[in-house]
Amino acid sequence: MWKSGSKTSVGERSDIPADGVRFNSGAARLARRDERLQMVNDTIRSRGVDDTRVLGALANVPRHEFVPSHLQSLSYSDQPLPIGEGQTISQPYIVALMTFLADLGTGQRCLEIGTGSGYQTAILAEMGATIFTVEIRPDFARIAHARLMSLGYEPSQIQYRIGDGLLGWPEIAPFDAIIVTAAPERLPSKLLEQLAINGRLVVPVGPPDGVQRLERWIRRSTGNDASAFEFTHVLNVQFVPLQSSM
């Protein structure tokens, strides 16, 4: 989850709804559509992400449904926003960029590490892939699951797991793409091992308070040494740390 560096004053209050709160899927997808289209044109397409499938996903998913109620007015600004417990919903541009780097095709299998609010999960599902998402915080996992189901995402599209994301989901590997939405200090070797041939790992790597690098690793052959992968340093970033039991 992209770490907030914005000068906008926003609170860190948690806004996780109580059990029984439902989300309005039909109205939510229509509401504030003009704001989403403006966000896509002004802050994503203008910065070089021009893949029409990615832009369509960002235009279709109602980001305001994933933002705490007291921050609703900032839903379509190009900034991360706090969602409680020190976590954030990522900046729309970074969500778009990571989705583009994952290069998902219809019917492919994508592992997401860090469900968080569920926003990146929804964007990935819009790409036509089957998403396997892992979240270490049970409350976040529960609320994201309810929110995504209410927005119309079926169990056949998104499968959920509560657990340590650094372990991946080995029993159902390999994956065509893996996206990590928070930053481990070191490259997660167990996730590299779970990539299919030509599979893509998109991950921010680095210390919590230092320079982190958004990296893409593509498996080009069998084996798990460096020669089996193609590596790209995309840009420097600042994400919240990836929580792990390890």
Output the pLDDT for position 179.
98
Output the pLDDT for position 13.
32
Backbone angles phi, psi at 226, to 5 degrees: -60, -30
Kindly list the structural domains of the chain, giving each domain's residue range(s) and its CATH number in brackets, ordered by start.
26-237 (3.40.50.150)
Question: Which residues touch 160 (CB under 8 Å, ≥6 apart)?
Answer: 115, 133, 135, 141, 144, 145
pLDDT means per 10 residues, the chain with 246 residues, are 36 34 52 89 94 95 93 92 91 97 97 97 97 97 96 95 97 98 96 98 94 97 93 96 86
Between strands 229-237 and 212-219, the pairing is antiparallel
pTM: 0.88
Output the pLDDT for position 24.
43
Output the pLDDT for position 194.
98
Cβ contact 149:79 at 8 Å: no
Rg (CA), the chain: 17
Q: Is 90 a catalytic residue?
A: yes
| Catalytic, out of 4, 75, 90, 117 | 90
